[in-house]
Amino acid sequence: MSVADLPKVELHLHLEGAAPPGFIRGLAAEKRLDISHIFAPDGGYSYRDFWHFLEVYEAATSTLKTPEDYHRLTLAVLEESAGQGVVYCETFLSPDFCGGRDLGAWREYLHAIQEAAGIAEARDGIVLRGIVTCIRHFGPEKAKETALCAAETAGDWLVGFGMGGDERKGKPGDFCYAFDMAREAGLGITVHAGEWGGAASVRDAMVALRPARIGHGVQAIEEPAVVERLAQEQVVLEVCPGSNVFLGVFPSWEAHPVQTLRDAGVPVTLSTDDPPFFKTSLRVEYDRLAETFGWEAEDFRQINLAAANAAFCDEETRARVLKILEAPDA
Ligand code: ADE
Ligand code: ZN
């Protein structure tokens, strides 16, 4: 058996970012929207760099206009994830895109996404949970409205709160109000940091927002004290190596610090972020990591167990997932 066939837990997947380009092109055609500028001649997404990626991401997302669109998207994404061997997944959802942060509209989008998740679970056995994310470059006031949507719908399915977007805009401390509201509602906390903002941004996010997990966090490698702190406090990193290499955070797979972070005792998990945008998939990531670092099935098993233990789901769901990871054929 290849390591790519192992059962997997994925904690860092943006729902819109996982949309197959053909799905988005189809929606654009149905709605007569011209977004041809976001596609390359080969049919994939096209952009120049991370900041242009964020614009293209928002243009692709502009085709998703109704709860029904998100229902279809969720089914398409989970079919792909199940094919990748994912047994448990957490996905980032943005009330900014789902109803413009209006609570009533957000409830309708969430209902549609959850309904699709239920269909996919019955069909393929894959379990999905949601994490509301605010978008950093939209600013702290919008983040408060987003956090209110999250707090009002927190529960067994909507289990976390996070922040994505342009890490070079604003400071983590600007978002304390939103994160405190989410924490008080019982949501698990994760935040994108150390993808573009350096080790200092990881430290700032840890101090200001006290996350249990950090999205990326890999630039912590620039400062040994930050790596040490991550290890000491056992803050879990949602590492997306293919995303980082594709976007140029690191020049190659060999230069990626995922192995060094593991060696330093930082809890590391593996995800794909926005797989079609980065021409990757979890199977591809596992194969590349095995090739690059000589990781074997036991390495990946440990990483998936760490991910299951860091999941924001209820204990009964966690136990179910752990059982599959420990004895995949049982
Ligand atoms: N939104 C979608 N993908 C993202 C990423 N890699 N970093 C920050 N925000 C994002
Ligand atoms: Zn991300």
Residue 130's CATH number = 3.20.20.140
120 located within any domain: yes
pLDDT of residue 329: 64
Instruction: Give the ligand with the smallest distance to the CA of 136.
Output: 1
Cβ proximity of 235 and 214 under 8 Å: yes
Residues 254 and 155 occupy one common structural domain: yes
Residues 24 and 164 occupy one common structural domain: no
pLDDT of residue 330: 57
Cβ proximity of 176 and 152 under 8 Å: no
Residues 268 and 176 occupy one common structural domain: yes
69 located within any domain: no
68 located within any domain: no
pLDDT of residue 17: 98
Residues 59 and 206 occupy one common structural domain: no
Residues 53 and 79 occupy one common structural domain: no
269 located within any domain: yes
Residue 51 alpha carbon to ligand 1 centre in Å? 10
Residues 39 and 142 occupy one common structural domain: no
DSSP-derived secondary structure letter, 173: G
Instruction: Give the ligand with the smallest distance to the CA of 214.
Output: 2
- Positions annotated as catalytic residues are 195
pLDDT of residue 327: 81
Let me know the angle formed at the C-alpha of 274 by 268 and 276, rounded to the nearest 5 degrees: 125
- Atom 6 of ligand 1, nearest CA residue: 273
pLDDT of residue 188: 99
Owning domain of residue 291: 3-19+74-326
105 located within any domain: yes
242 located within any domain: yes
- Report the atom number in ligand 1 closest to the C-alpha of 274: 3
Report the 10 Å Cβ neighbour count for 12.
29
Give the closest residue to 187 by CA, choosing from 233, 215, 156: 156
H-type alpha helices, the chain: 21-30, 50-61, 67-83, 103-124, 140-153, 176-184, 198-209, 224-233, 241-247, 258-263, 282-293, 297-310, 315-326
Residues 43 and 192 occupy one common structural domain: no
Residues 48 and 142 occupy one common structural domain: no
Residue 136 in contact with ligand 1 by CB distance below 6 A: no
Residues 318 and 209 occupy one common structural domain: yes
Give the integer Cα–Cα distance in Å for 142 and 102.
Answer: 11
Q: Please, what is the angle between helix 21-30 and helix 67-83, to 10°?
A: 160
Residues 211 and 126 occupy one common structural domain: yes
Where does residue 32 fall: left (phi above 0), alpha (psi -120 to 50 degrees), or beta otherwise?
left
pTM of the shown model: 0.98
Residue 107 alpha carbon to ligand 2 centre in Å? 23
The domain tally of the chain equals 2
243 located within any domain: yes
Give the integer Cα–Cα distance in Å for 180 and 182.
Answer: 5
The best mutation among 91, 169, 191, 195 to test binding of ligand 1, ranked by most ligand atoms within 8 Å of the C-beta, falls on 195
Residues 52 and 86 occupy one common structural domain: no
Q: Which residue stretches of the chain have pLDDT < 70?
A: 328-330
Residues 12 and 26 occupy one common structural domain: no
